[in-house]
Structure 1
Amino acid sequence: MLTIFLTFAAAAVVALVAASFSVQLIEDSSEIGVRDALDEKGMTWAEVEANGLQVSLSGIAPTEAVRFSALTTAGSVVDAARVIDDMGVAAQEALAAPKFSAEILRNESGLSVIGLIPTSTDRTYVISRFISIAGTKGVTDLLETADYPAPETWESALEFALSAMSSLPRAKVSIEAERVAITAITNTAQEKARLEQNLRRMVPARINLVLDISAPRPVITPFTTRFQITPEGASFDACSADTADASERILAAARAAGAQNPRCIVGLGVPTPRWADAVTASISALTKLGGGSITIADADITLVAAPGTEQSDFDTVVGELENTLPPVFALQSKLQRETDPNAGPPEFNASLSPEGRVQLRGRVNDDALRELTTSFAKARFGSDRVQTSTRVVDDLPPDWATRVLAGLEGLGQLSNGSVTVTPDSVQLTGNTGNPDASTTIASMLAGKLGEGAAFDVNVTYQKQLDPVLGLPTPDECEAEIGAVVAAGKINFEPGSATIDASALGTMDSIATILKRCGELNLEIQGYTDSQGGGEMNLALSQSRAESVLNELRARRVVTGSFKAVGYGEESPVADNGTEAGREANRRIEFRLVRSAAESEQDETALENAAENGDTASDASTEESVTE
């Protein structure tokens, strides 16, 4: 009996051992098989552990998709029911904020805007600004919003674009946080230059402005070139060309004739592609004669030789020119004769002073022409600026009225000057801020006076009269304000932000300067003395700076780029221990807000000045106007 029991016990032990070995074999084979399968697919991050028939997977999967792939791989080696998922998934980074941008398109049909803006941007305000710009033409709103933090410079870029769009009737503006790109079309080159200058003045710091502004070529009617050689030298009264190459050919011929720094307008309206051939041949002919003028209006050419030219030379040069000109052109030639300087031919004269006052003198055909010239001048220059001293005489040429009115129209293109009309010529001299005025006047006279008419345009371009180049720089504006406040400080009523009546004249002068300066990034800073509490002084200085800003607004100064900031008793300029010092510390300062690039340039200039031993005020990092 004992033997039988021991036999069964031994068999049980053997069976148990065999089962244990079988389980261990299954665990090892399952664990190794699953690990090999995972390693083969690059999932080395996964840990595999077999526990009996179960296989546990642990570790941190990069993504949820990778975790699911690991389960699928393990399930392909062992029964999926035996796979235990103890894996985790790596925490995902927050989704990156989208790139905020907007694009505005404005044309004759209205205004449209599309893009993605932050929720923090006041959408209602932005659309209302667009509506005020577009007026009755309407706004197409395709803006979307996203609830992510706005980039630091987004609002300033958007505000700049809104301000710029008001002066851009035909434009596309693309806005990003640190970049504003403007593509626009203007009517004239002068308008283009003025617009570019204003936009560059307005752009905030840290915003990259990209401009692509084009101006179409002007239409020149009639297409006119007038060149003259006088004892004073050779010069153009007007120069027109149809292409840049044609312009360079014409200018080269003028320089060969002795002209200094000539310029030529490239425009539309040329009568023939061979315009440059005719102009260069005509200038060459005049050079051979040694003096006189050549006028080309469309296809009509008038050559006037100077008095004293030999008849034989005149005939030879005119003959050669006739054979050289392209077929479309018609040539008229005239050899001027010596005249008696004491003969005193009948004439009409009008003068325009730098202050804008006009005086009309000389002869007119009748009372009707006298009234017409007076009315014309008053309409052009202002009714209170014209003085008439003309008299009616007989025996004037039949085209006298045309010549007089054409002369007055030419005078209207100048800032100051005079026009003299005689039976033989119209002579106009003066100064202008328009570099193209000479060509405009000559083209007008050629068209109105008719073929073969003699006229002389002696117009001088003055940079300071140019409405674009003549604008003062921001630093010059700051200096002008300094000169004003040096003569009259802005005072306030005691303990108040109300500007004293004695300072209103100073505010008028500052407003006049700022209107001429255009857009400026200007900070109006208020300061107090050290008496009183710090918080009270800070509030008072802020209120006073805002009062100055409001006074400028009341005088119709555009203050969109101005800021009013109070600094309290900071940065004293004198000793607060004396009454005179405290008076000096109670002040308003006008400071230009400079971009980072400008500040860096100023710092470099200061360092260079220090190295050279020059510590003059013009090397200072920051200029200010102190009141």
Structure 2
Amino acid sequence: MAADPFEHGWQLDQEASAITFLSIKKDTVAETSQFAAMSGQITERGVAQLVIALDSVDTQIDLRNVRMRFLFFETFSFPEATVTAVLDPLSLQDLPSRRRKVINLPVTLSLHGAEVELESEVAVTLVSNDRITISTLNPVILQLEDFNLMAGRDKLQEAANVTITPLGIVNLNLAFDRRAPGTPVLAVPATSGASAALETAGDFSREACIGRFDILSRSRSVNFAPGTSRLDQTSTSFLDSLFDIVSRCPDLLIEIGGHTDNKGSAAANTRLSQKRANSVVRYLSNKGIARARLQSVGYGEASPLVPNDTAQNRAKNRRIAFKVLN
């Protein structure tokens, strides 16, 4: 039996590990989801790191997964969440004899551009000399506002027409295997991007395409320099995700619609919205989508989602929308 609980370090066994989170809608309806792709390690010094591929969110419903990715987590800009912690060797030095210990573990969670310090009570169990498990004893409560996720919650509420409690309830059950002697300590590999998404490989059905374009339209993630049709750099990752979806709907004609608020003249708004729609079409065609499959339309201020009576509502009306035409 090794006396050092961190000897040679540990590697996460993804297949035997689970990260689940509970969300609450309509005040009383609880839904449990999980992430299918993650990687992690504990070094010989007890430094633990876990990388979660947010694209792998699994709600058991395809389009709900897509809503979570594009509207809530905005994985095109924030593909991963990371958890880091330092396990105190003194608190675990008797683990070989006790087999299971409960400790308070300070952790740092990086999610959606925010970094928050948390503390969780976890059970560390030495299953064998070469395998340990680490599990939360109590759910970890995450406040969405701490991670800049309130806007994402609002988009989910609009898309699903439900109220969503602004917190997440997270549980972790992780299994690690001891590395073989001499195995180098490497950075935790990233397991993210569209390849981690839980969806059928290849082309989408017409229904799946229509659902995805509706969700992408709600994301309001195509941005332009103020008053111009010049795409902002922040739009690139979203447009690349859009390209992937359009590519997997190969037989469909797609409308790219530009919309504005009612500030300025109606004629000027129509011209600007047309130019902005043209910019998106140009981006997609430059990446390889046949120009004949893309139709751009400038609607100007004619089709607002909501009344143009507040700055927040006007922001919702300034958008690029996508829909299937044939």
TM-score > 0.5, shorter chain as reference: no
Structure with greater proportional strand content: 2
TM-score normalised according to structure 1 size: 0.20
Rg: which structure is higher? 1
